[in-house]
Amino acid sequence: MRLMGPMWVGFWLLVAGVAAGDDTAELRFVGGLASQEELIERFVAALENDDKAALLSLLVSAEQYRDSILPGSVEPGQPDRTWPEKSRQFFTDNFFHKSGLYADNLLSAWGGRKIQMKRVYFTRDPKQYARYHARGELRIAVEVDPPVDVEPIIRTGFIAEANGTYKFLGFLYDDD
């Protein structure tokens, strides 16, 4: 039996990558959606329904943020960034606490209104990381009923894609 044909070389490279901790090919967001458009539609629906649980369900899980996003936020081909467990947990807890506060702000400003999307755009160029692809920060120009006293643009954070699954990395944004 020949073990080093092209198919076997690919298999051994895959096994070596997984053994080395490179789970890029394996990362899929738990509960992730099949398209960015569907994710944005669910985001708007959660706002219209004033539903915080639905809004928070659109975020990557804290476990995936801690164990995949933080270490894998490096250039493609680079080794994962190593973090002490306490640091990874601190950054994860802090990030999700802030995302929860931003979710409250989003619901306070936009929750319970009929929202018609006029334009969807991002303030930053897409970026490929070792474990995922990021697009952000998301902006949605809208028309709402009842009207709002502010510029009708919903501001929120980055969207991530990993192997055909889409989730929000967080709801935090920075207009500076």
Hey, what domains does the chain have and what are their CATH numbers?
Answer: 32-168 (3.10.450)
Interacting residues of 98 by C-beta distance below 8 A, sequence separation 6+ = 170, 172
Q: What is the structure's pLDDT at 83?
A: 87
In eight-state DSSP terms, residue 67 is I
Bridge partners of 144, per DSSP, are 115
- Distance of alpha carbon 145 from alpha carbon 150, whole angstroms: 13
Tell the residue number behind the tokens 């959606």, with chain if given: 33
The predicted structure's pLDDT at residue 14: 30
56 contact partners, CB below 8 Å, separation of at least 6: 99, 100, 103
Angstrom distance (rounded) from CA 108 to CA 57: 18
**Tokens standing for 26?**
């394996």
Contact 103, 59 (CB under 8 A): no
Q: What is the 3-state secondary structure (H, E, C) of 100-115?
A: HHHHHHHHHHHCCCEE
* Residue 66: both structure tokens together: 């801690």
In three-state secondary structure terms, 73 is coil
pLDDT for the residue numbered 142? 97
pLDDT in tens, the chain (176 residues): 333 433 333 322 233 333 334 444 477 888 999 999 999 999 999 999 999 999 999 999 999 999 999 999 999 999 999 989 999 999 999 999 999 999 999 999 999 999 999 999 999 999 999 999 999 899 999 999 999 888 899 999 999 999 999 999 999 988 75
pLDDT of residue 148: 87
Question: What is the C-alpha separation between 17 and 6, in angstroms, rounded?
Answer: 17
| pTM of the complete model | 0.82
